[in-house]
Amino acid sequence: MTTNKREAIKAQRTRKKRQRRMNTLIGAGVFIIIVIIVLISPTIYNQLKPAGNFIHITPVARPLVNGNSIGDPNAKVKVLVFEDYQCPYCKDYTQQVEPQLDASTYITSGQVYYKFMQFPFLDENSATKESHQASNASMCALEQRRFWDYHDMLFANQGAENSGSFNNKRLQAFADALGLDMTKFNQCFSQNKYSAQIETDYQESISMGVTRTPTVLVNGKNIAPGVFPSWDILKAAIDAALASGG
């Protein structure tokens, strides 16, 4: 082997070593940046984290839907349900109790008015505020008359509290999967359009004595303080209110 060839091989090896070293430094640099973002600004990380896989739902028809309520607002019995989208008991309530109310005749007969109330209390010690973000996203879906579909999508994809299940990309992906107008939704969502309203509703809920979720009020009375508001409890409270004339 000639001297020139040996020098050429040596130079090539040197370049490869430098390139590997450079790739290692770049990789380490990217990792450090990500760590800094996570530690210093969880909000930024929440905005950048990808949507990943999630459960798709089949929308369910509900009677007399009007925004985040169903039924006649002039009904004798008014039911208010206060929920946090990250609350596991709220998921149970949504998937176990609400379908039985929908299947009953209370709504279609004009006897009951049912309204969902935003109560994102699980954000108190969180930097990413996933409960508030989920609430804001659901209100953006409401603008397109898809509140209840988005509500169901959120509970179907609920994960551990403030673990990224409701990061920004996922919340946007949920809307896209439901076929919402994404230009309108993203504009509403990115502006946190309903943040002030949600906070106002939250404070008003506290003034009404709400401290946990799910809390269900029938004509202003908490039907299940300290226990799960099952369908039997809700039905009994509705029947009692109807029997008393509301």
219-245: per-residue pLDDT in tens?
999 999 989 999 999 999 999 999 997
Assess whether 32 and 122 both reside in one domain.
no
Whether pLDDT at 29 is above 70: no
The CA angle 66-69-73, to the nearest 5 degrees, is 85
Assess whether 140 and 96 both reside in one domain.
yes
169-226: per-residue pLDDT in tens?
999 999 999 999 999 999 999 999 999 999 999 999 999 999 999 999 999 999 999 8
What was the pLDDT predicted at 53? 83
CATH number at residue 107: 3.40.30.10
What was the pLDDT predicted at 119? 96
Q: How many distinct structural domains can be found in the chain?
A: 2
What was the pLDDT predicted at 2? 64
Show the domain range for 76. Answer: 65-243
Residue 55 forms part of a structural domain: no
42-97: per-residue pLDDT in tens?
555 555 565 568 999 999 999 999 999 999 999 999 999 999 999 999 999 999 99
